[in-house]
Chain A
Amino acid sequence: MIEVKHIIKQYPEKRALDDVSATFNAHETTVILGPSGSGKSTLLRTLNLLERPTSGTLALNDLTINFEAPIAKKEIFNVRQTFGMVFQEKALFAHLTVLKNIIEGPVQVKKESVAVATKKAEALLERFGMTELAARYPSELSGGQQQRVAIMRALAMQPEYLLLDEPTSALDPELEAQVLHVLKELATQRTSMIVVTHNLGFARQVADHIIFIENGQIGYDGSAEGFFSATDNRIQQFLNAMSF
């Protein structure tokens, strides 16, 4: 379980997160919803310390990080090992082939041998039916293939949680479906995932847990069924805005 408490992220002009507390359970898919600019990415990136909030705490396993105190390199490393991250787009290492993208973390960070890491990467590629793409460069893949490789690169590190920040927002619907299909399969296997998305259909089908953020504050935190049947005005407004 991951727990954030009283997170505040203050930019000079804007409070991106305003006293956010939430927990994320293992073996569940948590979907973070909210209008754009509401603080979804900031919350997600706080979990793996790409973002450093002004105050609050992050607790995972036996580690607690207080954002008002300096964070040791070792702690940053441990937190980052807990999570694998998939970005919206263009995050595959452009100068490396698909295979090398996948083994980069295991070899450089986990110090696995190239041979062992390659075996595992090949198994991943096989599992997702992408073996033929191993030798290609990211520029030679479709957006959907790029995102699936990005998911594999994250999985190759065997993180406890996968973080995905709008992994399909840059894709055409047909390519989006390929990626969502992979995520759905991961969800079925009880992979721990935290996904920021605008795809309500995906949230409805796959989410075990929904967190709705508005203006840096949590507007809903609970089950997916609860969210979609909520009578709360702001949730209604959001759902209406999303479905024209």
Chain B
Amino acid sequence: MTQFIQLAIQYLPSLLMTAITYTLPLTAISFILGLIFAILTALIRIAKLPSETVAKLIMSVLKTLAAFYVWLFRSTPMIVQLFIVFYGLPNAHINFFANAWVSAITVFSLNTGAYASESVRAAILSVPKVQKEAAESLGMTNRQVYWRVVLPQAARISIPPLSNSLISLLKDTSLASVITIVEMFYLSQQIAAENYKILSMYVLVAMVYALLTTILTVGQHYLERYTSRFTI
């Protein structure tokens, strides 16, 4: 036990430092991009087909693409996606993805977006119809109805499922280790390879992940409590 504490004292600072410089930025950037993908995808999938021919065609194509995107990312393992993007695409001379950060953020955000789009879609659909009608009856445009009334309320409703997505994403950033990013888990592997304290090192890094996700869970709790007044 004292050994473990010594080990923790010795390596916690560098693990936490790596969390701050790798794990958390990867998580934050991917989550924000993922949310944008999620909202766009959800809006496209919910939208009614316009009556005008060209607009209808464009919208149908968008809907098909959105459905395909969600299906694609939900039906394949993230580690395989990472390999395809980071090792596969540059091999086909798409050099944009030769950068590990670009690859990681692309895969993490698209993945989060695909899952979260379903949460956002469900949340939008669960905003009571009368809220929308009240906005329409004031003379709001469709865009105003969505951005000023429906989406803010959907945001509150989607806090629990989106918190799940965020927590999963934080843990999943450990997969970035397979594409050469020395994030927290990779660092712990490297240290374990040097000091042979294999069990202790992995338990230690698990504890840091648990600490970070617990902080997020507490944040979720307060956010839910704070927004509980924004419901009728």
Our pick among B130, B148, B152, B153 for the contact of A91 (Cβ within 8 Å) is B130
* CB <8 Å contact, B134 and A94: no
Given contacts A87-B133, A91-B130, A95-B152, contact A139 B231 (CB under 8 A): yes
A242 within 8 A of B: no
B171 within 8 A of A: no
B77 within 8 A of A: no
A108 proximity list for chain B (CB < 8 A): 138, 140, 144, 148
Our pick among B135, B137, B149, B230 for the contact of A139 (Cβ within 8 Å) is B230
B232 within 8 A of A: yes
A85 proximity list for chain B (CB < 8 A): 133-134, 137
Q: How many residues of A contact B (CB 8 A)?
A: 30
* CB <8 Å contact, A90 and B128: yes
* CB <8 Å contact, A137 and B229: yes
- Give a binary string over A195-238; 1 marks a CB under 8 Å from any B CB, 0 the rest: 00000000000000000000000000000000000000000000
B13 within 8 A of A: no
The dominant DSSP class at the B interface is: helix
* B151, closest chain A residue (CB): A95
* B138, closest chain A residue (CB): A105
Given contacts A95-B152, A95-B156, A104-B148, contact A109 B230 (CB under 8 A): no
* CB <8 Å contact, A105 and B230: no
| Residue positions of A touching B, CB distance < 8 A | 48, 50, 70, 77, 80-81, 83-85, 87-95, 104-105, 108-109, 137-140, 146, 150, 153, 157
Could you list some 8 contacts between A and B, CB below 8 A?
Answer: A50-B137, A70-B51, A90-B232, A91-B133, A93-B149, A138-B232, A139-B231, A157-B138
| Residue positions of B touching A, CB distance < 8 A | 51, 128, 130-131, 133-140, 144, 148-149, 152-153, 156, 228-232
